[in-house]
């Protein structure tokens, strides 16, 4: 299939390399030195599961040069969502669809308002990866699982395609039955890990090795759970327990370092307004206390725009 990676950072490049390695025609939308290195030297993935190098690789910075594709994997940072969604339009034919794998719980609505409700599938990815240097991606954690659901929560030929291509690439693609439950289930771990991880400069596995930090991390997860419940999104009772089990399982071979923590280390702009900021605002709206996540939000605000 012809697949465009909108946002070839850590996650987008990780997926693109794995999909290209099994024969898909992958086009990387990238910028600056990363773009030029992909064009001249290809794209390398460094991972404990085995390194990969695709060369030659196709990369563009202008989506007008791409033509129509079958699938767009939407992996840009949340602060670039609207601009990137508009940039997708030249690549979209009648049957093209977008799978958004961004953090947070709001991107499906933002993208759909620009490209159309019937063009967007919501997804969650459980992978930690970042750009180590231009043209080089480091895969540092996660379960290599991609979960997704149509807006109407029904099975479709598009979700069958996604299951197939991810499985063939050695990843785990799972169609979920409820989009909002899927997004908020991940947000329980993501929001808490991004906030506490950024404050302590740690991954989730490292935080759970300290009983004091673990207790605060768990409490931050419950804050997310309670906000979802107040919104009428009823998460499974074992959501927090499952998140802790995921952390424990990951700890046997790698940590779960939040992308926000990595961005903070590198002096990059943060997705703060769409993680702790979202929970802080929704907590106030639905009268649910969120002291840990709100404290993280306030403490990290001065770093939100990067250096």
**Residue 58 and residue 98 in one domain:** yes
Integer Cα distance of 214 and 233 in angstroms: 25
**The residue count for the chain:** 307
What is the pLDDT, as a whole number, of residue 251? 62
Q: Give me the pLDDT at residue 253, please.
A: 61
Q: Are 220 and 148 in a shared domain? A: no
Same domain, 185 and 274: yes
Helix (H) or strand (E) holding 38: helix 32-41
- Beta-carbon contacts of residue 108 (< 8 Å; ≥ 6 apart): 100, 120, 122, 151, 179, 183
Which of 152, 177, 202 is the endpoint of a domain? 177
Give the tokens for residue 263: 């961005």
CATH label of the domain that carries residue 71: 3.40.50.720
Helix (H) or strand (E) holding 15: helix 10-21
Domain end: 127, 142, 177, which one? 177
Are residues 161 and 282 located together in one domain of the fold? no
Summarize pLDDT for 109-168 with one digit per residue, the tens: 999 999 998 999 999 998 888 899 999 999 987 789 999 999 999 999 999 999 999 999
Work out the pLDDT band at 257, boundaries 50, 70, 90.
confident
38 and 166 assigned to the same domain:
yes
**What does the pLDDT read at residue 252?**
60
Q: What is the largest CA-CA distance in the chain?
A: 53
Contact between 2 and 25 (Cβ < 8 Å): yes
Q: How confident is the model at residue 15 (pLDDT cuts 50, 70, 90)?
A: very high
Asked if 154 and 58 sit in the same domain, the reply is yes
**pTM, whole model, 2 decimals?**
0.91
Cα(110)–Cα(116) distance, integer angstroms: 10
Coil, helix or strand at residue 226 = helix
Based on the fold, state whether residues 169 and 20 are members of the same structural domain. Answer: yes
pLDDT-derived band at 307 (thresholds 50, 70, 90) equals: confident
Q: Assign residue 174 a region (left: φ > 0; alpha: ψ between -120 and 50; beta: otherwise).
A: beta
Q: Are residues 240 and 127 in the same domain?
A: no
Half-sphere exposure of 24 (CA within 13 A, CB side): 25
Q: What is the pLDDT of residue 90?
A: 98
CATH number of domain containing 294: 1.10.1040.10
Number of domains observed in the structure of the chain: 2
Q: Do residues 222 and 87 share a domain?
A: no
Q: Which two tokens stand for residue 96?
A: 């093209």
Are residues 103 and 28 part of one domain?
Answer: yes
Share of the chain above pLDDT 70, in %: 99
Beta bridge partners of 133: 136
Residues 137 and 227 in one domain: no
Confidence bin at 255 (pLDDT 50/70/90): confident
Residues 75-109 pLDDT 10s: 999 999 999 999 999 999 999 999 999 999 999 99
Mean pLDDT of the region 260-285: 96
Element (H, E) at 109: helix 107-115
Range of the domain at 299: 181-303
Report the chain's C-alpha Rg in angstroms.
18
Show which of 177, 197, 228 is a domain's final residue: 177
User: Strand pairing partners for 27?
Assistant: 4, 58
Residue 170 sits in the same domain as residue 126? yes
Structure tokens at 8: 């070839």
129-143, 217-231, 273-287: the lowest-pLDDT one: 129-143
Residue 44 has pLDDT above 70, yes or no: yes
């Amino acid at each position: 299939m012809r697949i465009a990676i909108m946002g070839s950072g850590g996650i987008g490049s990780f997926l693109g390399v794995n999909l290209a390695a099994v024969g898909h025609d992958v086009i990387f939308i990238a910028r600056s030195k990363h773009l030029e290195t992909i064009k001249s030297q290809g794209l390398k993935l460094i991972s404990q599961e085995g390194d990969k190098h695709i060369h030659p690789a196709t990369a563009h910075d202008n989506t007008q040069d791409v033509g129509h594709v079958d699938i767009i994997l939407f992996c840009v940072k949340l602060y670039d969502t609207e601009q990137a969604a508009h940039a997708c339009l030249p690549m979209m034919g009648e049957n093209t669809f977008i799978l958004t794998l961004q953090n947070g719980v709001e991107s499906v609505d933002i993208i759909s308002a620009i490209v159309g409700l019937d063009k967007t599938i919501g997804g969650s990815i459980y992978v930690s990866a970042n750009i180590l240097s231009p043209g080089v991606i480091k895969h540092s954690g996660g379960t290599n699982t991609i979960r997704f659901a149509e807006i109407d929560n029904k099975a479709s030929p598009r979700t069958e395609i996604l299951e197939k291509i991810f499985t063939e690439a050695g990843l785990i693609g799972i169609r979920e039955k409820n989009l909002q439950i899927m997004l908020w289930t991940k947000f329980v771990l993501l929001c808490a890990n991004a906030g506490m991880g950024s404050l302590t400069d740690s991954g989730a596995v490292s935080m759970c090795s300290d009983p004091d930090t673990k207790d605060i991390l768990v409490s931050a997860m419950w804050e997310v759970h309670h906000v979802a419940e107040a919104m009428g999104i009823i998460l499974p009772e074992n959501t927090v327990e499952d998140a802790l089990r995921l952390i424990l399982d990951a700890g046997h071979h790698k940590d779960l370092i939040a992308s926000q923590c990595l961005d903070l280390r590198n002096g990059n702009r943060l997705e703060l307004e769409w993680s702790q900021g979202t929970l802080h605002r929704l907590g106030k709206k639905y009268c649910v206390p969120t002291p840990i996540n709100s404290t993280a939000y306030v403490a990290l605000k001065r770093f939100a725009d990067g250096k």
